[in-house]
Each structure stands twice: as structure tokens, then as C-alpha cells.
Structure 1
Amino acid sequence: MKISVLGAGAIGTMLGALIRDNDPSCQVVLLGRGPHIQTIRDSGRVQLQGPWPTRDVQVQGTDNPADIADSDLVLVTVKSQATAEAIATVAPYLGSAIVVSVQNGFNDEALLQHVDEDHLVMGITATNVTVPEPGTASLQFKGTIVLGPNAQGTNAASATAATKTLEKTGFRIFEERNVEGVRYNKLAINSPGYAASLSQSNFITEAVCHRGWRTAVGKPLADECLRVFETAGIQLANIPKLPDIRKLRGFFGKLDSRLLGPIVGTGAKLIFNRRPIQFSLYQDLLKGKGTEVDHTLGEIVRLAERHGTTAPCNQMVIDLAHEIEQRGAGKFFTREEVIERFQTIQSR
């Protein structure tokens, strides 16, 4: 079996290499660009770090789209803003491959321009992977992948085949009929996570556990997402052990409790000070890369507009992210500055 990864950054590299490591009969091609892929191409392997002894895995790194020809499955992990260009570039070489998107945004329309709907499977992954140096991928904790058929079920066979292939990663894999509800749930979790990233704040210990941030930023974002989804008729779905925006909103409430708050907060800090959650927005802003915020939280804003309402809190995260992009790599706001900007929404 030949498996190719389109846009092999942190997550794509990890998924492809884990498949190869767990099933050496699979040929794995990592398609991308930059020093990371150049290092893999030159060495013929990638180093995997995680909850296991560090190991090297043989894979093919390439920047040549033709190298994915004759693939049985193509994983799309490219940043959302690059989806249209990336899929158009590899379209001549896709053949009859099953194409699986495990991206953050809703890129269905761009992908369907070049992939038949019965061969396209949409999904999400919830994990935390970084590239500490070119040629290396580091897994902070074992992740979850959720895939599912489209509403019409025309791609059901492809979804089942993709699920079986991705089980080779060793991740928790779920095939979910309401994959749209899972994807919107993930967007909603990203919303406060991205807001914390604007100030380089540890999502749990320095943002969620901070009463001022939680009141001005976290709870308004969660409430806004839930309101927009209800207005749009989106039925959220969740998978066991996968983050859920409704559970996060309930966690905010526990932290507000005079009795439970200190206990819950102390426990959270013990866990997440050692293992902080890093969102992709933070990594992109730190490195001065273009972000995909318009394709992630922008989807919530557009969903609201399509149903006659607004999402000013999510729009604020987008606007602040763009301000940091214009400032330059790593020039973040302080937490207090983010809080102040969100308080202006309430005063409008």
C-alpha cells in the first residue's frame, strides 16, 4: 500500500511515519517543502519522539508532486489557506486514491474541485505534535482521529477504508456518522485556545484558570460558539476523551465556584504546567508564518452571518491574530491587552 501526505508538517509527518513504523510494508511519501522536508529527503528517514524511546523511521521526503502518483490513500494536512493551491498541484497524480482531510478548517469546497465526492473523506485529529528541529516530529500525547461519511453517504466505503488504514497510526480512531458535528466542536475548542495563543498564555493554567481572562474572553467565546451553532441548527457530536466545547464551558463554571474552583484549578495546573497544550496558531505566530485563522474561526463568523447573526468575539480573535502577523514573528500581546480588547466588545 502506498500512502502519501500532502503538506507534511508536524501532524502529517507524525501520522505518515507512524503508519510506516507500525506497518513496514506500507510505502510512505511525505510531500512538503522547507528545511523539514529537505532534511527527511536527504536522510531518507524521520526521527519520532513521543511516549516511547526515540526512533528513526524510513520514509520518502519530497517536494515533487509527481511522487505521490499511484497512491492508495492521500492524507491532506496542509494549512487550510494553502488547500486550494496544494490540491490543484497534485490533482494530475491523484488517480483513484482516497483523499482524507484531517485539517482544522472546512475545506470541502476547495477539495471537491479536484476530488470526486465518493473518494473524499473529511475528518479531524486532536493531538499535539511539534517539529522541534527539521527532520524530527515530537508527539506530546497520543491523539484521536475522527472520520466519517458525508451526509449523503456516497463516500461510506472510502470512509471505512480510510479508518482501517489510519488505525495503523496507533491513534484512537473513530468513524462517526455526524462528522460535521465533531468538526464544528473542534473549531469551537480552538476558539478560546487561539485566544490564549495571542498572549503566549498556557491555555489551561494562565488563561482558563485566570478569572479575568475566563470572564472576559473564554466564556464569551464558548457561549458565542454555542449560540451560533444552535442558530444554524448544527448538531454537535463528541467522541469519548476528545475535547468538547460544552464540557469546557462547564469547566469554566467549576472554576468560578468558591468551593470547587481552587481544587479544580490546582489539579489542572499540576497537569498542564508539565504538559502545556500548544495550538497551531501559536506556533505559526511565533515563527512569523501566515495563519489559517480565517479558515478556522472565520468559518464560525461566516456561519453566523449566513444565519442572520454575528460572532464578534471570534472576529476579535481573527483581528488580533492579523495584528500580530503584521507586527512580525513572536510579537504577541500581553494577556491583559487581550482582556482589554475583548472588554470593548461588551461596551459596544
Structure 2
Amino acid sequence: MASGEKRIVVAGAGSIGCYAGGCLALAGRQVVLLARPRIEAALRQGGLRISDLEGRDRLIKPEALGITADPAAALPQADVILVTVKSGATQEIAALIEAHARPDAIVVSLQNGVDNADRLRAGLGQRTVLAGMVPFNVVLSPDGELPLEVRRASDGKVMIENSDGLANLLDVEGFAVQTHRDMKAVLWCKLLMNLNNALVALSDLPLARELADRRWRLILASQMDEALRAMKACGIEPARTAGLRPALLPKVLRLPDWLFKLLARRMLAIDPEARSSMWDDLQRGRPTEIDDLQGAILRLAEKAGTPAPIIRRVAALVHQAEADRRGAPGLSPDAVRA
């Protein structure tokens, strides 16, 4: 797959999509960002700034960006479609791809949750759909700030299912990509870590501060215990993707603060202002991905007949915050456990 000839469309250019597409464009790939009108307008006015923890700080001027809010303008030209919409929009984007994209376009899901590639396949018939996983957080600059900035706030390599030459096409500076033979196992491991998204949203704390507080880590560890119990009962073995075996994560999270900070330096190597996408959704009054994160474990636990009271409580609190539409509620650990 010759990198200079393949056309990439990023379907859902929010924080992750703009970061991925920006890095690809800076590396000389042919990229079009399919974005919501709000993002399109900001990019056309001020361009796109790409930064990360390693000190890169790069600007793409508006005239150098391929941007549109029109699926009929973007999708027909795509050789590769990177799907970066929220889980709740998966069926909608599948319908747009089916209506406008060529049958031979390769579709890659770079979304949270474990089922989105399957949902895309269900809506796209015989098209090639690959699962992928983005391990890092991306911080999007506030509305009205120009140029629009996306900052990679943590580390890690993107993983995708193996496809001839695709990883080489997508593997560029600032956006490292590799293949993995068992993406389902990778996605279940990522889901374990994503159980913390709700705690960041409920606490209204930056991710680094929340993880540095053992009271919050104990809640995360309890959620992971419930998730691992349900996975084991259903024969699911999450992949080992970040050093530790997934089964050891709850034990590490329960360590005293001083020891956790000493042993989990990589986990705490996060931009001090980074929060979770679920926090951002609550702040903007949008539906969250709670039903695809905690909800996926609750469905698995029901199937397995295993208890998941902490996950159920966290999910209920996020649903309440969605209904209240007052942003992140700023709860204490005790209020979450109550």
C-alpha cells in the first residue's frame, strides 16, 4: 500500500480524529477530515495545532488541511476510512459509509468499547472492517480558541488488525501504529482502563490528580475486579498491552499512594490538565459512552451471573449526571461508593 497514493478520510474528526488526521497530514499522507460544522469552522479559520508529551508542537495552516462536513464530498474518495466517532454514532456513520464510500475502501474502527467494529461490519456487508485501539488521551482546546489544538496527553502505540501494508501507511511521527493478532483481547484490556473515564467525569478532577488519590483508585480497582470476574466466567482473556498482566492491575491500584507513584510512573505520565472524553461529554451536555464501557461489563456480568454492584452504581451516577445536564458533578469518592 503506497503511502503517497492512498487517500485517508477521518470520519468523526473530534479530538482523536483531528490528532490522527493531523499527524498523518504532517507526514505527507493525503487526508480529509470529516468533521462536525463547529470543528470545520474552527479549522478553516485558524488551522490545526498538534502537540504532545514529547515536546512536538506543529501547526497546519487552514489552506493545507482537507476539511469538510459533507460525507458525500469526503467518503467517495477514500481508500482508507478511520472511524473515530463516539460509540453512539457508529450506526449513523456506517450508514453514511455504505451510502457514499467505494466498496473496496478499508474501514478501521479507532473507537472505545469492544463492539464497534462488529457494529460497522453489520452495517457494511462485505466491506473490509478492521478493529483498532487508541491507548492515549487527547485534549481538545476550548471552544473559540484558535488555532484549534489537539494535544496527546499520554503515551502508547495505536494497535490495529493486520492488513497488508496498512500499519505502514498509518505509522507516522506522533502517531505510532502496530498490528496485533488478537484485537478483541486488546479491546477488552482497554475497556478495563476505560472504566476510569467515568470516575474522572464524576470527580471533575484531572486524570493525573484522580489517579494519584488512592480513594479513587480503590473504586477503579473494585470495578476491575467485577469486570475480570465476568470476563473469566465468559472465557474472555484480556491482552497484556502495557507491561502488567490485567489480573494484577487491581492489586497495583490498591497500593499506598507513595508506592503507587513509585511503581506506576508510566501510568501517571499524563498531561496535568488531561481529563476523559466522558468528562468532556458531560461538560458539553452530550450523551456519554457509559453504556459501551460500564454497560458492556454489566451485560457480560448478567450473562455470566456474576455480581457488579460498583460498576452498576457508577453507571447510574453517570446517567444521572447526563439527565441533570449540569456538567461534571464533582462527587467525592464516598458519594460514589454510597
- TM-score bracket, shorter-length normalisation: 0.7 to 0.9
8 Å contact from structure 1 (residues 18, 169) kept in 2 = yes
Matched residue SS, 1:3: strand
Indicate the percent of aligned positions where both proteins have the same amino acid: 27
2:201 partner letter? S
Structure 1 residues 117 and 297, CA gap change in structure 2 (3 angstroms)? farther
CA distance in 2, matches of 1:331, 1:71: 38
Structure 1 residues 114 and 137, CA gap change in structure 2 (3 angstroms)? same
CA distance in 2, matches of 1:219, 1:296: 15
Structure 1 residues 49 and 32, CA gap change in structure 2 (3 angstroms)? same
8 Å contact from structure 1 (residues 27, 59) kept in 2 = no
1:213 aligns with 2:205: no
Match of 1:85? 92
Match of 2:123? 114
Structure 1 residues 317 and 142, CA gap change in structure 2 (3 angstroms)? same
Match of 1:28? 31
Stretch of structure 1 that moved more, 276-285 or 78-87:
276-285
TM norm structure 1: 0.83
The 5 Å alignment of 1:95-244 reads: 95=102, 96-105=104-113, 106-116=115-125, 119-133=128-142, 135-148=148-161, 156=162, 159-168=163-172, 170-206=174-210, 208-215=211-218, 217-240=219-242
CA distance in 2, matches of 1:104, 1:85: 16
Residue ranges of structure 2 left out of the alignment (5+ in a row): 1-5
Report how far residue 266 of structure 1 moved.
6.8
Match of 1:61? 67
Structure 1 residues 295 and 65, CA gap change in structure 2 (3 angstroms)? same
Q: What RMSD over aligned residues (CA atoms) do the two structures have, in Å?
A: 2.6
Report how far residue 226 of structure 1 moved.
0.9
Report how far residue 77 of structure 1 moved.
0.3
CA distance in 2, matches of 1:197, 1:188: 16
CA distance in 1, matches of 2:224, 2:158: 23
**How many residues of Structure 1 are paired with residues of Structure 2 in the alignment?**
321
2:252 partner letter? F
TM norm structure 2: 0.85
Q: Once superposed, which parts of structure 1, at least 4 consecutive aligned residues long, lie more than 6 Å away?
A: 266-270
More helix by percentage: 1
Residue ranges of structure 1 left out of the alignment (5+ in a row): 149-155, 256-260, 344-348
Structure 1 residues 269 and 163, CA gap change in structure 2 (3 angstroms)? closer
2:169 partner letter? T
1:19 partner letter? L
CA distance in 1, matches of 2:121, 2:224: 31
Match of 1:153? none
